[in-house]
Amino acid sequence: MAKELSKMTKRSEDYSKWYNDLVVNADLAEQSAVRGCMVIKPYGYAIWEKMQQELDKMFKTTGVQNAYFPLLIPKSYLCREAEHVEGFAKECAVVTHYRLKNDPNGAGVVVDPEAKLEEELIVRPTSETIIWATYKNWITSHRDLPILCNQWCNVMRWEMRTRMFLRTSEFLWQEGHTAHATKEEAAERAMQMINVYADFAEKWMAVPVIKGPKSPNERFAGALDTFTIEAMMQDGKALQAGTSHFLGQNFAKAFEVTFTNKENKQEYVWATSWGVSTRLMGALIMTHSDDNGLVLPPKLAPIQVVIVPIYKKAEELAAISERVQPWVEALRAKGISVKYDDADNKKPGWKFSEYELKGIPVRLAIGPRDLESNTVELMRRDTLEKETVGQEGIVERVEGLLEDIQSAIFEKARKMRDGYIRRVDTWEQFKVEIEKGGFLLCHWDGTVETEERIKAETKATIRCIPFVAQDPEDLKPGVDMVTGKPSARRVLFARSY
Amino acid sequence: MAKELSKMTKRSEDYSKWYNDLVVNADLAEQSAVRGCMVIKPYGYAIWEKMQQELDKMFKTTGVQNAYFPLLIPKSYLCREAEHVEGFAKECAVVTHYRLKNDPNGAGVVVDPEAKLEEELIVRPTSETIIWATYKNWITSHRDLPILCNQWCNVMRWEMRTRMFLRTSEFLWQEGHTAHATKEEAAERAMQMINVYADFAEKWMAVPVIKGPKSPNERFAGALDTFTIEAMMQDGKALQAGTSHFLGQNFAKAFEVTFTNKENKQEYVWATSWGVSTRLMGALIMTHSDDNGLVLPPKLAPIQVVIVPIYKKAEELAAISERVQPWVEALRAKGISVKYDDADNKKPGWKFSEYELKGIPVRLAIGPRDLESNTVELMRRDTLEKETVGQEGIVERVEGLLEDIQSAIFEKARKMRDGYIRRVDTWEQFKVEIEKGGFLLCHWDGTVETEERIKAETKATIRCIPFVAQDPEDLKPGVDMVTGKPSARRVLFARSY
């Protein structure tokens, strides 16, 4: 067993500690010396890069282009949209000076009081304000629309309680910001992007999600509608994995962005914004992984197949290497990433544990006896099942197995998630059930007061009002479980990350 | 003529204004509302993305992995390495507070004085300090080495005089930071990376560069050696396009990063760092472009070929489109990016100017008469030469032309650069020649004093001590042109961006 494994807490002991141990031991990330900020290590970053590449392709297919806007936002910009400043201006990093100097009293390097900014600058918590201030100069006529920009960047929100990937003061994300001539087109774009996120979550991350709008209370600060994708973690807590906002004309009004429409009249521009972040890494880890370490969907695994030779003598290694080389080449020709680990300073057992910890989807092990019998040991990381198979057709077998694992872990996660969905009709029952975790589909009277009472007493929030009902019955009217007032349909409650 | 062109200043009138007009009119970037920070617009960002993709591939081929380190650096970190703090801690954005609040006197949102940080945080001007503080925990033994990390990120240096892409307060870049067990290995890595940059500049950007170490005075703050690639712009000013630093053990000592070597002794780790930034965009623009707009090397052009149909009636367009469609597909199949611009709200003349301005390397124009005569008009952006050619073999012809343009603009830039290189032997002659711009190869006595005197009197600096002599004579000893003291060899002087 690798020494890393001995440090791993089991999920059943302490889920939160298991998560943290896994992030650190699998070399995904670590805390930095800067409060609430993490270092994303090469292995973690390689997974994030695979996510970025695919998302970027999906965005571009819908006509989106990348651009880059400034990191620092004038304080006054943040204050232009009333709800937005309430939501974002509070906990943020504020730049007040632009120079350090040597202290005249020898106290080292200090802030130069003469280099105080006239107006403070805020490290962007999100970029609607600076982007809409920019769009003002780009838009005159309906012929300038739509504008479909995205940026990959870092943002900062001064969080009090942080957890790696899930909630950090600085995080990496993409933020799309689109401008449209009509309300319908903007609303459609907001919907289109939540569908892109859902597709990515399900087809690439193998994380099943429930799509729907947020309740008004949970909307993005400044949005008329926020669509979300909600995933369920193994511990029964929900995780918001991506959001897409229909912003109406709020930011256009705040930044006076108008255009001449086809009828030659001045009109405010319609907007959307949408984002996913390194939080997706948290969702990925917590959906699939187990007590042995990471389980990665093959489509996002930086290394999809590892081949470990089992040998004592150099001649044995040479013979194994010769046999294996054509497989490596054939797998690579199929676009499959393979590592042949013939390092001689680590024992096979150590390697096995290490690659389990790192979540490599498929492992092949081959020794001298396999050479004679034309066999190879095949291990799939998701189930940890081992099988000795013939060498003939091994490349196609591995290729098929990677596809199997991709769908198997999605199905496993879907079953886990579905097992967590229950319908609850009374407030007493809700308070009991919410302790068991999971999604609760309940009737709600539609008021902020009831929503806030539920949150105050149980820490559960409305995750979304699902677009697609799990059951047609969910769409039928009922009575609010707390107030007894009429309810239009069931909505989705959970405790969440 | 497009209205954009009418706004363009000619190079001969005002080179600096021409550059600025070009950046704005070709939709590459614009000034933002935040002092010294630019917005990189989609077309400019698409070129930067192509640069990133290729550089990233080249880095990875040498074993480098990407990672991500925090944006904010504790002030004390910056002060650990004595020269580094002198070089970087002065003009920088300082975060002093982490919260805003509503002013009790109704003055809007203000900085909350209670949310003052105990220690100020600096927006990274470069990341050696935070990275070496992190490497301390990654390195125990020689088996943990080398570490070869790179990050793509934003950095900030509070510049007083800014110019888009060339010098902005915030810019995008990559910074590689490597850690090694031996001095030799680190020195080799620093050399390897300057070679990667030179290859990229010459083969992808078509920008010829002169490689060599900086004089001690021009080294990176904290480096034992800085290697640079120096390019020559059309106006005779040099531009430092990339640097690679051999840092010795300076940062390892400052952050106490030691390892157990193979002899089981504790030793400080050896380091390099290397970076290129969005400044490369400036080098690209200023090397090749002309009074009609941008000239792009085909390998970095987001659109390599544009096809413009010339028509009056819908039937004509339909016939042209039918003829052109197979070409579009065949070009794309070869990995060539093609835009077929059949938009009917713009005239061909407008399109021609627009695509010249944007630097699309090859333009095809085809009208009804071409359909009859099986011809097509072919225009190459670099020389603006037009030619009417047969349609047969047009795809291969375009493919070949793209390669021709790539090498032709490199050759043109090389000739321009070589024409700017002169050997100067007297101080009087130097002061005359430097006014004409270009590179001057001169003898220098090797002292900081002489270098500083030359800079003070002429604004010229030593750009580098070329690895490869333009002429073997350059490597022979001589006498310093200013002091008459002995000089080991000629070094390269220029005024620079």
* Residue B329 half-sphere exposure toward CB, CA atoms < 13 A: 6
The rounded distance, in Å, linking the Cα atoms of A302 and A48 is: 10
Class of domain B421-494: alpha beta
The rounded distance, in Å, linking the Cα atoms of B14 and B6 is: 15
Angle CA(B22)–CA(B23)–CA(B28) in degrees, nearest 5? 130
Containing A199, the helix (H) or strand (E) segment is: helix A183-199
pLDDT, residue A6, reads 55
The rounded distance, in Å, linking the Cα atoms of A257 and A259 is: 7
Residues 78-97 of B with CB under 8 A from A: 78-79, 85, 89-97
The rounded distance, in Å, linking the Cα atoms of A88 and A83 is: 9
Mutate to test the interface with B, among A35, A39, A142 (most CBs of B within 10 A): A39
The three-class DSSP label of residue A212 is strand
Which residue does chain A place closest to B24, by CA atoms? A138
The rounded distance, in Å, linking the Cα atoms of A33 and A24 is: 15
- Residue B159, token pair as written in the block: 């510049």
pLDDT, residue A153, reads 98
Is the pLDDT reported for residue B465 higher than 60? yes
- What distance separates the 2 farthest-apart alpha carbons in chain B? 83
Do B42 and A71 lie within an 8 Å CB cutoff? no
User: Which of B68, B79, B96 is facing A108, going by the closest CB pair?
Assistant: B79
Beta strands in B128-250 (DSSP E): 147-156, 170-180, 210-213, 225-232, 238-248
CB-based contact, A68 to chain B, within 8 Å: yes
The rounded distance, in Å, linking the Cα atoms of A38 and A31 is: 4
The rounded distance, in Å, linking the Cα atoms of A246 and A220 is: 9
Do B65 and A42 lie within an 8 Å CB cutoff? yes
pLDDT, residue B6, reads 55
Beta carbons of B50 and B300 less than 8 angstroms apart? yes
What residues have CB less than 8 Å from B13, skipping those under 6 apart? none
Q: How far is CA B451 from the centre of its chain?
A: 26
pLDDT, residue B2, reads 40
Q: Spell out which residues of chain B touch residue A77, defining contact as CB-CB under 8 Å.
A: 33
Residue among B68, B49, B74 nearest A154 (CA): B68
Residues 380-399 of A with CB under 8 A from B: none
Q: What is the CA radius of gyration of chain A?
A: 26
* Residue A119 half-sphere exposure toward CB, CA atoms < 13 A: 15
Q: Spell out which residues of chain A touch residue B101, defining contact as CB-CB under 8 Å.
A: 90
Q: Spell out which residues of chain A touch residue B123, defining contact as CB-CB under 8 Å.
A: 71-72, 95, 123
Question: Alpha helices, DSSP H only, in A222-313?
Answer: 250-254, 279-288
Distance set, CA A266 to CA A138, A251, A272 (Å)? 15, 16, 20
Q: Express each pLDDT in B191-200 by its tens digit.
A: 999 999 999 9
Beta carbons of B294 and B355 less than 8 angstroms apart? no
Q: Express each pLDDT in A91-147 by its tens digit.
A: 999 999 999 998 888 778 899 999 999 999 999 999 999 999 999 999 999 999 999
Beta carbons of A383 and A363 less than 8 angstroms apart? no
Domain boundaries, chain B: 3-75+127-288, 303-399, 421-494
User: Which of B37, B92, B172 is facing A100, going by the closest CB pair?
Assistant: B92
The rounded distance, in Å, linking the Cα atoms of B376 and B370 is: 6
Helix (DSSP H) and strand (DSSP E) numbers for chain A: 15, 27
Q: What amino acid occupies position A29?
A: A
CB-based contact, B286 to chain A, within 8 Å: no
The rounded distance, in Å, linking the Cα atoms of B255 and B77 is: 9
CB-based contact, B319 to chain A, within 8 Å: no
Do A75 and B134 lie within an 8 Å CB cutoff? no
Q: Spell out which residues of chain B touch residue A90, defining contact as CB-CB under 8 Å.
A: 99-101
| Cis ω for the linkage preceding A146 (within 30 of 0) | yes
Q: Spell out which residues of chain A touch residue B85, defining contact as CB-CB under 8 Å.
A: 109
CB-based contact, B103 to chain A, within 8 Å: no
Question: What backbone torsions phi and psi does residue A137 show, to the nearest 5 degrees?
Answer: -85, -10
Least confident of A107-111, A353-357, B328-332, B382-386: A107-111
The rounded distance, in Å, linking the Cα atoms of B292 and B289 is: 8
Do A153 and B154 lie within an 8 Å CB cutoff? yes
pLDDT, residue B104, reads 81
Do A98 and B93 lie within an 8 Å CB cutoff? yes
The rounded distance, in Å, linking the Cα atoms of B233 and B45 is: 22
The CATH number fitting domain B3-75+127-288, selected from 3.20.20.70, 3.30.930.10, 3.40.710.10, 3.40.30.10: 3.30.930.10
Q: Spell out which residues of chain A touch residue B149, defining contact as CB-CB under 8 Å.
A: 42
Question: What backbone torsions phi and psi does residue A413 show, to the nearest 5 degrees?
Answer: -65, -35
pLDDT, residue B79, reads 85
pLDDT, residue A415, reads 98
Do A37 and B109 lie within an 8 Å CB cutoff? no
Do B100 and A75 lie within an 8 Å CB cutoff? yes
The rounded distance, in Å, linking the Cα atoms of A269 and A135 is: 10
Beta carbons of B452 and B414 less than 8 angstroms apart? no
- Residue A431, token pair as written in the block: 């308070």
Do A45 and B30 lie within an 8 Å CB cutoff? no
Name the architecture of domain A305-401: 3-Layer(aba) Sandwich (3.40)
Beta carbons of A212 and A467 less than 8 angstroms apart? yes
Residue among B81, B386, B415 nearest B256 (CA): B81
The three-class DSSP label of residue B214 is coil
| Three-class secondary structure assignment of B250-298 | HHHHHCCCEEECCCCCEEECEEEEEEEECHHHHHHHHHHCECCECCCCH
pLDDT, residue A1, reads 35
pLDDT, residue B3, reads 44
Do A172 and B68 lie within an 8 Å CB cutoff? yes
For domain A29-74+130-288, give the fold: BirA Bifunctional Protein; domain 2 (3.30.930)
Do A172 and B108 lie within an 8 Å CB cutoff? no
Distance set, CA A41 to CA B63, B68, B180 (Å)? 15, 7, 18
CB-based contact, B432 to chain A, within 8 Å: no
Domain A305-401 matches domain A421-494 at the CATH topology level:
no
Which residue does chain A place closest to B131, by CA atoms? A39
Do B75 and A41 lie within an 8 Å CB cutoff? no
Beta carbons of A161 and A170 less than 8 angstroms apart? no
- Residue B109, token pair as written in the block: 């949102």
- What distance separates the 2 farthest-apart alpha carbons in chain A? 83
Chain B: closest CA distance from residue A181 (Å): 18
Least confident of A57-61, A415-419, B157-161, B170-174: B157-161
Residue A317 has what DSSP assignment? H
Write down the mean pLDDT value for chain B: 95
pLDDT, residue B238, reads 98
The rounded distance, in Å, linking the Cα atoms of A17 and A33 is: 20
Do A100 and B89 lie within an 8 Å CB cutoff? yes
Name the architecture of domain B303-399: 3-Layer(aba) Sandwich (3.40)
Which residue does chain B place closest to A101, by CA atoms? B90
Q: What amino acid occupies position B435?
A: E
A453-467 burial, b for 16+ CB within 10 Å, e for fewer?
ebbeebebbbbbbbe
Q: Express each pLDDT in B22-80 by its tens digit.
A: 999 999 999 999 989 999 999 999 999 999 999 999 999 999 999 999 999 999 998 88
Do B97 and A96 lie within an 8 Å CB cutoff? yes
Q: Spell out which residues of chain B touch residue A120, defining contact as CB-CB under 8 Å.
A: 111
Helix (DSSP H) and strand (DSSP E) numbers for chain B: 15, 27
| Percent of chain B predicted with pLDDT > 90 | 91
Low-confidence stretches of chain A (pLDDT < 50) are 1-4
- Residue B22, token pair as written in the block: 């070009």
Residue B114 has what DSSP assignment? G
Is the pLDDT reported for residue B280 higher than 70? yes
Q: Which whole number is the average pLDDT over B304-318?
A: 97
Residue among B148, B127, B153 nearest B62 (CA): B148
User: Which of B33, B93, B99 is facing A90, going by the closest CB pair?
Assistant: B99
- Residue A102, token pair as written in the block: 């040597």
Strands B225-232 and B100-102: unpaired
The rounded distance, in Å, linking the Cα atoms of B343 and A337 is: 43
Q: What is the CA radius of gyration of chain B?
A: 26
What residues have CB less than 8 Å from A470, skipping those under 6 apart? A421, A441
Beta carbons of B153 and B173 less than 8 angstroms apart? yes
Beta strands in A318-418 (DSSP E): 338-340, 362-366, 375-380, 386-390
Write out the DSSP string of A33-71: SSTT-EEE-HHHHHHHHHHHHHHHHHHHHTT-EE-B--S
The three-class DSSP label of residue A287 is helix
Q: Which residue has tokens 């187990």?
A: A290
Q: Is A222 exposed, middle or buried (0-12, 13-18, 19+ CB in 10 A)?
A: buried
The rounded distance, in Å, linking the Cα atoms of A19 and A8 is: 9
